[in-house]
């Protein structure tokens, strides 16, 4: 195996020497390397670090929220500041942590997985990353303004964000505009790379499922991020320029805000989970030492989830007073999504069935993903039922639901992926014992954190309120303890990553014996430039995830 | 060399795809705004949000259906910061479908400034909105009211004969907004 790798690497270096437009040996040093870089691996690294910093920032806000909710009454923060915390926590986690982390994975892995030398539009790639810190700089700076940060919830419902805004709307809108532009550029880059840069011989149905899920996600982003840009623009003009899109006095309609927002918002939740499906579909076969069960059905299931996501948005709005027909339509369409999602969960379980499993940290996170994401899916089905949604709406049941799919879903898949590819990124194996500590501490604390929220919600505790009735005190105390423990557990991950970058056992080109994919045919750490010449057909065939 | 040809080919292809995708982005940005008129049309057809006609309807009911009685309730509320007393003079009336009805609302400006008000009606349940026809309504126009002045405002309406049989009560709600700045 190792001779193979050396051949490959020397072959590539040989190529690079003869290539005229390639600065193989001359990468810049210091800060300039990162500022000017157009290398997909550098940009991927930037995205991943940025998203982790954002995760810790958003996490710090969540710690204050949980500290306030540790016991009933108001102890630490004022209600208005509490609203700012929940709003900015949501915005940062969605747009700053989860989405850029997936873009980081896309940058690092997609070119290697399709056998391309780089992303298709490297200069745009640099831009799409470097505008992000400014977006979050603007958003976070509003904490230090007289008006305070946005306090209208990450969903910024009109008229809370227009008529009753505390003055932070402009900061919020411009920050979201920049995040949107960044996401759109990143998505365009992904689509162009996958459509035009695949190695000869890699047909669409030979692409790894990871590539498929990012391909579909990028299309979703291109379709709905402009709608978000539109709706924040309407909020901006309603607030500052006297238009009346959402103002009934001027002939507008505040309920229309919710329709337009959720037309973006529902596909957005699949933007945050489809790439997770791709990561898990890569890892579970590797540690089951079997091919993925039902590759084609996975592709079709992902596509149908993406298509269905456009016709279910109003299930977020059952309580706005829709006609019965509308409620039934959105309820049934929503439940329909459980079918392709069920196909996926079934395929993951079937992949593990009779496999020779081993439980390395990426696999542990992936299995936890399958189980806990399914719990989040089930609570989603409960919320999809119109009559019961009237009870669950705006309670902690909803909070429990979307944290199960976003934290134990998306975030766990990101950890699984990070552990899986860390040896490829750094050239070193991570510290196994420490990584298992990270997993078990996270698993236990995250369930202590989010599971009791289901019962709080069913018992009627409303979300986004800094205080609660006395009977919720015990559960909230446990939830807060789970929250603090989960927050601290993420520092273990930071320690693992830093240790892994600094050293550790040298990783071979393919550290996981069951792994398939073109990224394992290059050395570890992956050379600065890979696949300057396309990989041979035999490597592409070996990377095929079909199980025939 | 062929590799160079390939890379120029790839670049042209990349630019083509990029342009197409940018068009999609622009189209979807436009679509976001197109949702605004689309939503109005959709609500007009379905009565989704309980919006009633915004200009005078003509009475064209084919007689009166004496066999049916529908209760029409009136409620009012002021948007935040409107210092008016604003209320219906009668809280509810029983009408037969097709029968013309007059009711009045009372408004008094308790504030210290002249205010131009605008009442925005909405019918609940929403699907009844298309069967509630206003022939004359103070909500069709602005209501300027000097500080300390009061006025009685009239509403003339009839309920359509086609009103779905399961609707026995409908509620007409007015929200009063201050549009002084916008109307000046």
Q: What are the structural domain ranges in chain A?
A: 40-542
- The domain made up of A40-542 is a member of CATH 1.20.210.10: yes
B13 to chain A, any CB pair closer than 8 A? The answer is yes
The widest CA-to-CA distance across chain B, in whole angstroms, is 91
* pLDDT surpasses 90 at A506: yes
The pair of three-digit structure tokens given for residue A179, joined into one six-digit string: 């995040």
A465 to chain B, any CB pair closer than 8 A? The answer is no
List the one residue out of A106, A258, A95 whose CA is nearest residue A180. A95
A227 to chain B, any CB pair closer than 8 A? The answer is yes
pLDDT confidence of residue A26 = 60
> Are B73 and B91 contacting, i.e. CB atoms less than 8 angstroms apart?
yes
**A·B CB contacts under 8 A:** 98
What confidence tens digit (pLDDT) does each residue in A415-457 have? 999 999 999 999 999 999 999 999 999 999 999 999 999 999 9
pLDDT band at residue A223 using 50, 70 and 90 as cut-offs? very high
Identify which of B25, B126, B175 has the shortest CB distance to residue A323: B126
B1 to chain A, any CB pair closer than 8 A? The answer is no
b/e code A252-262 from CB counts within 10 Å (16+ = b): bbbbbbbbbbb
Task: Tell if the CB–CB gap between A321 and B31 is shorter than 8 Å.
Answer: no
Give whichever of A8-12, A170-174, B66-70 has the largest mean pLDDT: A170-174
> Are A323 and B126 contacting, i.e. CB atoms less than 8 angstroms apart?
yes
Closest chain B C-alpha to A227 CA, distance in angstroms: 5
B chain contacts of residue A120, beta-carbon cutoff 8 Å: 10, 14, 17-18
Please report, for residues A48, A433, A487, the alpha-carbon distance to residue A445 in angstroms, rounded to integers and kept in the order given: 24, 18, 9
Closest chain B C-alpha to A473 CA, distance in angstroms: 35
Check: complex ipTM more than 0.90: no
What confidence tens digit (pLDDT) does each residue in A258-314 have? 999 999 999 999 999 999 999 999 999 999 999 999 999 999 999 999 999 999 999
Q: Indicate the DSSP class of residue A92.
A: I
Identify which of B13, B47, B182 has the shortest CB distance to residue A250: B182
Average pLDDT over residues A174-203: 96
* Of A174 and B56, the one with more pLDDT: A174
Of all residues in chain A, the one with the smallest CA distance to B119 is A249
Please report, for residues A10, A540, A542, B4, B151, the alpha-carbon distance to residue A536 in angstroms, rounded to integers and kept in the order given: 15, 7, 10, 19, 86
* pLDDT surpasses 50 at A11: no
Distance CA A365, CA A444 (A): 12
Average pLDDT over residues B82-105: 91
Give the burial class of B80: count Cβ atoms within 10 A of its Cβ; 0-12 exposed, 13-18 middle, 19 or more buried: exposed
pLDDT band at residue B13 using 50, 70 and 90 as cut-offs? confident
* pLDDT surpasses 60 at B112: yes
pLDDT confidence of residue A325 = 85
pLDDT confidence of residue A91 = 97
Task: Tell if the CB–CB gap between A226 and B127 is shorter than 8 Å.
Answer: no
B65 to chain A, any CB pair closer than 8 A? The answer is no
Closest chain B C-alpha to A78 CA, distance in angstroms: 23
Task: Tell if the CB–CB gap between A248 and B25 is shorter than 8 Å.
Answer: no
pLDDT band at residue A2 using 50, 70 and 90 as cut-offs? very low
Count of CB atoms situated within 10 Å of the CB of A455: 14
What confidence tens digit (pLDDT) does each residue in A50-93 have? 999 999 999 999 999 999 999 999 999 999 999 999 999 999 99
Distance CA A296, CA A292 (A): 10
Average pLDDT over residues A501-523: 94
pLDDT band at residue A94 using 50, 70 and 90 as cut-offs? very high
Of all residues in chain A, the one with the smallest CA distance to B27 is A226
The residue annotated as part of the active site, out of A182, A213, A334, A379, is: A182
């Amino acid at each position: 195996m190792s001779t193979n790798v050396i051949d490959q690497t020397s072959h590539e270096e040989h190529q690079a020497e003869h290539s005229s437009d390639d600065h193989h040996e001359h990468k810049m040093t210091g800060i300039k390397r990162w500022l000017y870089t157009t290398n997909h691996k550098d940009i991927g690294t930037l995205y991943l670090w940025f998203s982790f910093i954002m995760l810790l920032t958003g996490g710090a806000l969540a710690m204050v929220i949980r500290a306030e909710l540790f016991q009933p009454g108001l102890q630490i923060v004022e209600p208005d500041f509490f609203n700012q915390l929940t709003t900015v926590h949501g915005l940062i986690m969605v747009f700053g942590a989860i989405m850029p982390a997936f873009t980081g994975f896309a940058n690092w892995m997609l070119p290697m997985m399709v056998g391309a030398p780089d992303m298709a539009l490297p200069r745009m790639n640099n831009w799409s990353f470097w505008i992000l810190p400014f977006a979050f700089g603007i958003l976070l700076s509003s904490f230090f303004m007289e008006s305070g940060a946005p306090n209208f919830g990450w969903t910024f419902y009109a008229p809370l964000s227009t008529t009753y805004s505390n003055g932070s709307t402009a900061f919020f809108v411009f920050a979201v505009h920049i995040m949107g532009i960044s996401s759109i550029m990143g998505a365009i880059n992904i689509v162009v790379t996958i459509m035009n840069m695949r190695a000869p011989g890699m047909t669409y149905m030979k692409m790894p499922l990871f590539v498929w899920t990012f391909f579909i996600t990028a299309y979703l982003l291109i379709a709905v991020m402009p709608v978000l840009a539109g709706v924040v623009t309407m909020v901006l003009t309603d607030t500052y320029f006297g238009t009346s899109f959402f103002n009934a006095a001027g002939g507008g309609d505040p309920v229309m805000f919710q329709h337009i927002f959720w037309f973006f918002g529902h596909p957005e939740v699949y933007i945050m989970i489809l790439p997770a499906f791709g990561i898990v579909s890569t890892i579970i076969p590797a540690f089951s030492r079997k091919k993925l069960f039902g590759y084609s059905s996975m592709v079709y299931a992902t596509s149908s989830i993406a298509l269905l996501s456009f016709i279910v948005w109003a299930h977020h709005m059952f309580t706005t007073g829709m006609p019965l027909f509308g409620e039934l339509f959105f309820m049934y369409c929503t439940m329909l999504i459980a079918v392709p999602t069920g196909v996926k969960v079934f395929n993951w379980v079937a992949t593990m069935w009779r496999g020779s499993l081993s439980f390395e940290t990426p696999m542990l996170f992936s299995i936890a993903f399958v189980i806990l994401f399914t719990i989040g899916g089930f609570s989603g089905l409960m919320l999809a039922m119109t009559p019961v949604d009237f009870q669950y709406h705006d309670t902690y049941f909803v909070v429990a639901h979307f944290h199960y799919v976003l934290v134990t879903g998306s975030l766990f898949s990101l950890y699984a992926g990070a552990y899986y590819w860390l040896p490829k990124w750094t050239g070193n194996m991570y510290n196994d014992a420490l990584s298992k500590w990270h997993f078990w501490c996270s698993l236990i604390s995250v369930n202590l954190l989010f599971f009791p929220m289901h019962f709080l919600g069913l018992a009627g505790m409303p979300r986004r309120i800094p205080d609660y009735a006395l009977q919720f005190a015990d559960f909230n105390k446990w939830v807060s303890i789970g929250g603090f423990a989960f927050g601290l557990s993420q520092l273990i991950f930071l320690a693992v990553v830093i240790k892994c970058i600094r050293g550790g056992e040298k990783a071979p080109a393919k550290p996981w014996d069951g792994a398939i994919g073109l990224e394992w045919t290059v050395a570890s750490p992956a050379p600065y430039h890979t696949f300057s010449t396309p990989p041979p057909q035999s490597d592409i065939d070996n990377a095929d995830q079909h199980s025939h | 060399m062929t590799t160079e040809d390939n890379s120029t080919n790839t670049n042209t292809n990349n630019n083509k795809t990029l342009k197409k995708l940018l068009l999609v982005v622009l189209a979807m940005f436009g679509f976001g705004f197109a949702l605004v008129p689309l939503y109005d049309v959709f609500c007009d057809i379905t009565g989704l949000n309980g919006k009633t006609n915004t200009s005078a309807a003509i009475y064209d009911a084919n007689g009166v259906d004496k066999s049916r009685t529908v209760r029409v309730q009136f409620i009012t509320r002021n948007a935040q910061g409107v210092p008016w007393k604003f209320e219906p003079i009668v809280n509810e009336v029983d009408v037969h479908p097709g029968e013309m009805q007059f009711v009045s609302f009372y408004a008094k400006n308790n504030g210290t400034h002249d205010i131009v008000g605008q009442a925005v009606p909405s019918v609940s349940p929403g699907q009844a909105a298309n069967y509630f026809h206003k022939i004359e309504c103070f909500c069709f126009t602005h209501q300027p009211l000097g500080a300390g002045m009061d006025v009685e405002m009239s509403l003339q309406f009839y309920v359509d004969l086609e009103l779905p049989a399961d609707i026995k009560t409908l509620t007409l709600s007015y929200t009063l907004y201050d549009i002084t700045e916008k109307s000046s």
